[in-house]
Structure 1
């Protein structure tokens, strides 16, 4: 290890925390090769699992590979400066500076590599055209470009999508968004763009650097000329003209040198990532034909599929940062001035954040958490332009060429530290099978485009009912499986799914009650409620073996903490047995100390009673009202009060849960000892006449927003490009939860416990507000 130690930047006179950050694998690490560009996550799996932060002597960078560490670095732009994002890899030969000087090259900081506080000052002034409201005006143009491009090859039967669609459309959209004239020399600009990318993110030879320097210099001069031309018509369209107009109001913020530098940088940034992201996404979807078939049949899946593609195989391999002070990351000491390579593609495959991360699942519930767009103050401003283009491209191809397949080919990748995607993507199909030959309207139909995080209600999974079995009076057990026979995602005790019941928007939540290990099928038990609003009644009357149901989830906001050291107490009433029985089974499997209480009116109504008794024996107590055995919550709570560290998990009728809460409180048990699951919310809804406006500060994004009295926090965040998912928007599902740093919240959901509300660490953006109109600070 002595040779390696001599290459390590950490002094070995005293062993650093975590040991030497340089190993044999670290010494051999080289991202400039096909194996890394094709699958960065797999290339650094060893590091993510064994040595999540290591030093690479070949790069002179510290490499960070896990999700939370990368996200924490993004959220702290003061400690971790973005100033080296566009810094050439290695030291350019001396003549490069002289060559660039001949062209008057004076590239300054841009939004991507500028430090605070100037970065946020400029971002606030220039961000308005990137908001969903303003981006909608570009949608017809994007549709036209995609349609015209596909028209040119629709009858050919074989095409390179990169050359004929995926480069051309994003590049044209970028020029349109910037306001650059349609008659621009595109081939020249493409050459300029490639040179800029290689210069900033590649590792060219000294000879190549000299040639690239001339091209970059020409690009600089070209950008200046375009900018000057725009200054002659400042009231015209495009983001650059908008920036010119903003310069008049904020001359100290939007300077001449800044505009020139942004003109050059944005031409590249506005299309490279989208071109590669689209190629990666289409390749990934066609490699998973069941998902492609589902997406073609259900366009609602396009938006969530795009997010999963960006997570699983995004167009950004890594970002770079520079440490401004001595700091420790995952137990490894990093010296001030150190350069960091954040492998975001690896973070997107971290099992610590994404369940079964290598599984490609277009219905994944948290794919929008991916780091491909970055996070915090430097999150990509153009993310929703990219989303728009990707959704329209995939939508048009899925409708007009649903039968296309990947051709036999070898994929080549551009070697650089930032953008990743194949140079070519060849697909083929039988033109005689084109749907529009039978139905010309196929060509003109448009799917909805989602500008922002996908709506959870659109993440639909079609499942076939394998069996329907009566497990108690008016209670049936449905066993659901994939029509394709493919494995279903893993779930954890307490999770539920939403089943769409009949026509319209009626959906009901049902807890999963089967075996979480069984990925062949999911099981839910449904009680026919005499006061049913249509959900359970429809299932009992209409659902039979072979019925295909539209299902969302699974999701879990009633999660059991398996690390707890004390006794677990499980309390269920009626159909509330379904989430609790999976927790009790899990406790038994783990050998935990637990007791189990199950209340019901009589044995005819008691679902799973015999099998639960056989499984849990003396640990299970049945409380049957008609047999004179009711659960005495006061006695139970009083007994538990004498034990340390008791955790109670309960689900059942509202009256039962309220009585249990009173008993727990009166017995003096800690307020965080009780965890309950609700399926209804009777808390106040938004009433503009009674609400107050309030301010919300987004700590990581550097924004302060006003939430009006007639608008929810959720809608306010979405309007400013902040990604927050949602589903029920009634405070029931927990999808729109956001972290709270400071301020007092008026909680209006049915998810958080009283203890969690008092902790004030999170809130549901769809329904909750500030208490008394005070300012809230969110960790967004």
Structure 2
């Protein structure tokens, strides 16, 4: 194998001693973590993704897949310590709490199975999309009323005058709690947060304990009044009615704890998340101006801000038994801090993870609401509020800007949002002064995942070059000359033109922010997309793209890599070869085709990669011996090409399937033909729901309609991101991800394309 020297990643320059020092000094209440949690976790994310913090007494988990695995595995990792005090209370503070009979116990966020899911099912109704939508008119009226108070003033502290008040009012309305004593409740809410997740001094603990005790008493009194007549529309009134039906499930102590926790959960996190989002958007004027022009971008902008700077930065678990996280042994009883804000900045899952990209089309994969059975029940209410708040402000005050200020944050282990957010504007420029129609809300997608059609990015075709008789290289640029988002080797974009949407791997220079390069092969027997691009797209045309995103990443590490490309599969592979060369890793690349004249980039491959490059043209007697290649050693093989090549490599690596990473460049046919499909029922065992998947809908589409968040990328059975666990029932597998063995095991399926063979299937959702 050839090896080319290159500059090393700066993280690799850190010595083991320096990393050990960073681990020893890690503290969520002091130092870099309090300034920028995601940035402070970068070194750990790259070099020590799981480590034990002696200052905290927790194992800290920082990578996306590892955080997701901890949330998913409720059998090994319990949420029982989610509301555990980070700082033990003093004797004096404990005495004050005892005087109030404070007995905060189990809630939805810190209860183990099966009790958690039984209660969650019993109380789910109010959080279904159809129920949440009933609150939208009230939220709109409320936001407009608060903005009316300062719109003509020219300055405001959005936290004090809008972002704290609105979510608290909505929370009380949703719960069915009277809107009296809002200022007192705000103080109680902050005290509860400090008491549970903060590090108050001994003197502060006494004041905090008094407020928390009063909060507990207040919650109980409100609940007692509700019991006299629980006929209202609030969630707690609904819970009281359910208590009459299920007294052993919905108990008095549980309702008291949920009343208090619900006020905090529905209020403080939404206030912080919206403040974080507005700060991000106003600091990135281009992004702010885009949502001011186009409200269809607001739902995805909300998701991107939640990913980049969500209000819940970390959450806690405790090991129920001896377990492992990514190979790291965790003993029963040990505590774990899963840092979602770090996971949301993991470049293994998100392209250009530290960049605000309001058109990012996998941003809803973020873990800011958790994942799995304990995913935040109120996530869609929070999203709806954030979308309405952004729409009102971007429409009525598009010219507002951040005032000069220092941003202060209350230090806690889990929550983050600025204490104040001061903005200024010239009231003379208020759009509604010139046109009263500016007071009318614009259309807005209030619930569910952002429509993918709204995320498409306009690009201009800057150049078209014939590489072979049937392959065209297309260069795309931003119409305004702006930088395009960063991408990494293996990434692709979706090209939208002429009513077609097709995926093409990026094969230019990732360092060139001004242009994207793709190569499109004309497929006469294809579905029409490539024919349209070859026949109709011209230099100067403006078309649209989705992405970039990467479902086909190079493996981490320093081990040698064997790259294999078949036909047009060279496009991601040559980008990977370029990347490996720049890293100085050992690699070789094999490019297979029928005839050299039909093999795009063959000359560039040999020119740029020298002895590491091997071109195999079968008609010229240079066919690649896949069996010899696969049997030559234990190096990782990364391949992209036609099905027959991938199938052959899978068979050759059957005894060590982890050696092979691959991508098909042909998609499954995802269009459903209702005349041949059969409807089926999907029983969601963790949610207590049974859904009907009709003949003309996919399981993924039906899950989205009822507000079930499920990551998805390609929606063509290629990427595996929409995988769900199968409890029972026989799956009609239609993806190109699972191996034959995995299909036979029948333990998982891809929701975007696979269906049930038997008319009913049980899923772990």
Deviations 1:21-54 (A, max 9, x none): 9965555444334853331223344544555455
In 2, Cα distance between the equivalents of 1:198 and 1:669? 54
Q: 1:496 aligns with which of 489, 492, 497?
A: 492
Residues 651-705 of structure 1, C-alpha deviations (whole Å, 9 max, x = no match) = 46xxxx56x689889x98859789563445447836387525344556xx56564
Q: Give the corresponding residue for 1:4.
A: none
* 1:123 pairs with 2:120: yes
- Give the structure-2-normalised TM-score: 0.84
Q: Which residue of 1 aligns with 2:732?
A: 746
Structure 1 match to 2:507: 513
Q: Conserved in 2, the CA contact under 8 Å of 1:21 and 1:54?
A: no
Report how many residues are paired. Answer: 739
Cα displacement (A) at 1:638: 8.0
In the aligned structure 2, how far is the partner of 1:160 from the partner of 1:465?
44
Cα deviation, residue 124, structure 1: 1.2
Shift of 1:608: 4.7
Deviation at 1:270? 0.6
The answer to whether 1:306 aligns with 2:302 is: yes
Query: Using the alignment, how far apart are the partners of 2:201 and 2:638 within structure 1?
Result: 65
Matching of residue 595 in structure 1 with residue 590 in structure 2: yes
Q: Which moved more, 1:245-254 or 1:19-28?
A: 19-28
Deviation at 1:193, TM superposition (A): 1.6
For residue 549 of structure 1, the aligned residue among 529, 543, 548 is 543
The aligned runs of 1:66-215 (5 Å cut-off) are 66-182=63-179, 184-215=180-211
Partner of 2:749: 763
Q: Distance in 2 between matches of 1:566 and 1:36?
A: 36
Asked if the contact 2:432–2:439 (Cα under 8 Å) also holds between the matched residues in 1, the reply is yes
Distance 1:461 1:757, change over 3 A: farther
**1:668 and 1:77, CA in 2 relative to 1: closer, same or farther beyond 3 A?**
closer
Matched, 1:440 2:427: no
Q: Is the 8 A contact 2:646 2:662 kept in 1?
A: no
CA contact (8 A) 2:351 2:550 kept: no
Residues 538-597 of structure 1: per-residue CA shift (max 9 Å, x gap)? 54576555544321022445667698978654321xx66544554666677755344322
1:571: which partner in 2?
Answer: 566
Tell me the C-alpha RMSD between the 2 structures.
4.0
* 2:120–2:687 Cα contact (<8 Å) kept: no
Equivalent position of 1:319 in the other structure: 315
How far 1:314 sits from its partner (Å)? Answer: 1.1
Matched residue, 1:12: none
Judged with a 3 Å threshold, the aligned counterparts in structure 2 of structure 1 residues 721 and 441 are, in CA distance, closer, same or farther, namely same
Sort the Cα spacing of 1:413 and 1:533 in 2 relative to 1 into closer, same or farther, 3 A.
same
C-alpha displacement of 1:422: 0.4
Task: Label 1:291 to 1:465 Cα distance change in 2 as closer, same or farther (>3 A).
Answer: farther
SS at match of 2:587: coil
SS for the counterpart of 1:417 is coil
SS of 2:399's equivalent in the other structure is: coil
2:296–2:445: 8 Å Cα contact kept in structure 1? no
Residue 292 (structure 2) aligned to one of 292, 296, 299: 296
Q: Does 1:40 align with 2:26?
A: no
In the alignment, the residues of structure 2 paired with residue 538 and residue 402 of structure 1 have an alpha-carbon distance, to the nearest angstrom, of 39
Q: Secondary structure in 1 aligned to 2:104? A: coil
1:251-277, CA deviations, whole angstroms, 9 ceiling, x for partnerless residues? 100012211221111111111000000
- The residue matched to 1:462 in structure 2 has which SS? strand
Q: 1:619 to 1:475 in 2, by over 3 A?
A: closer
Change (3 A) 1:150 1:562: closer
Q: Is residue 221 of structure 1 aligned with residue 256 of structure 2?
A: no
Please state how far the C-alpha of 1:485 moved relative to its aligned partner. 3.0
Q: Is the 8 A contact 1:404 1:429 kept in 2?
A: yes
- The 3 A distance-change label for structure 1 pair 234 and 664 is closer
Is 1:525 aligned to residue 519 of structure 2? yes
Q: Deviation digits for residues 34-78 of structure 1, max 9, x if unmatched? A: 853331223344544555455555545444444444333323345
Tell me whether 1:715 sits opposite 2:687 in the alignment: no
2:482 to 478, 485, 496: 485
Gaps of 5+ in 2: 1-15
Counterpart residue number, 2:672:
685
Q: Is the 8 A contact 2:471 2:521 kept in 1?
A: yes
Pair 1:324–1:751, CA change in 2 (3 A): closer
The 3 A distance-change label for structure 1 pair 614 and 75 is: closer
SS at match of 1:170: helix
In the TM superposition, what are the counterparts of 1:663-674 in structure 2 within 5 Å?
Answer: none
TM-score (norm 1): 0.83
8 Å Cα contact 2:562-2:589 kept in structure 1: yes
